[in-house]
Amino acid sequence: MKLTLKKAHRLFYRYSVAFIFYILYPFIYFASRKPSRYPMFNVLRKMCAFFSSTISGIFYRVTMEQPVDWSRTYIICPNHTSNLDIMSVSLLLKNNFCFMGKHELLNNPLLGIFFRTIDIPVNRESKISSYKAFKYAGERLENGMSVVIFPEGTISKDYPPPLQEFKNGPFRLAIELKIPILPITSLDTWKVMLDTGSKYGSRPGICNIFVHNPIETTGRSVDDADALKDEVYNVIKKKLVEHDYR
């Protein structure tokens, strides 16, 4: 019975996202035609995230290690255990931003328009695609736009989902451009909704998100990319352990 209710909630959540998206679609389409579309896109993305989550009884409690200077540009590195991570990050960021995500999202009926305009698709199986994606990300960063990159690259299918090994790309890029890394720990979004929710469903609840202090990259060389990757990994891992993740 409990699992049936969770599956019903997951279905309700999916329809809520679709409903809000299609209400806002005329504005999203209008924004996609404008050269200076990024700020408007981010506002509309936040509206989609807020209303679809709220209708479904899902809320986000954000704690910050210290206030973030949102006038700065960051490479934002959250751990990834749930589709709700995208919603929570969209809501908590206060500067102009875009996501880097898997190229399959280009064909997603809801997210496709974002990945054909503001966001950066990447096929991680292709070195050429990865090179182009990080080149585009570098251009966005140099123009003052923060880029959200999930360094695990994917969501684990295990239950509970472990923190997976990080990819090198975000950290090398951060060092090359002297851009600080902003680690974010999603503490329990997977408990509210695990990945697609197809097996475990979802439920109303509060997702706890912790924003760490930025990690500066000035003074580091590209040879330090592995050390920076490990530093960010350990910061997030430590917070998960403190929260009694499992």
What is the rounded end-to-end Cα distance, in angstroms, of the chain?
24
What is the model's pTM? 0.93
Tokens of 52: 């679809």
Whole-angstrom Cα distance, residue 32 to residue 169?
A: 28
Rounded (10°) CA dihedral 155, 157, 158, 160: 50
**Cα distance between residue 115 and residue 150, in whole Å:** 15
Domains (ranges, CATH) in the chain?
Answer: 2-242 (3.40.1130)
pLDDT per residue, tens digit, the chain (246 aa), is 577 888 899 999 999 999 999 999 999 999 888 777 788 999 999 999 999 999 999 999 999 999 999 999 999 999 999 999 999 999 999 999 999 999 998 998 888 999 999 999 999 888 898 999 999 999 999 999 999 999 998 888 888 889 999 999 999 999 999 999 999 999 999 999 976 545 678 999 999 999 999 999 999 999 999 999 999 999 999 999 998 755
pLDDT at 1: 59
The one-letter code for the residue type at 244 is D
pLDDT at res. 64: 97
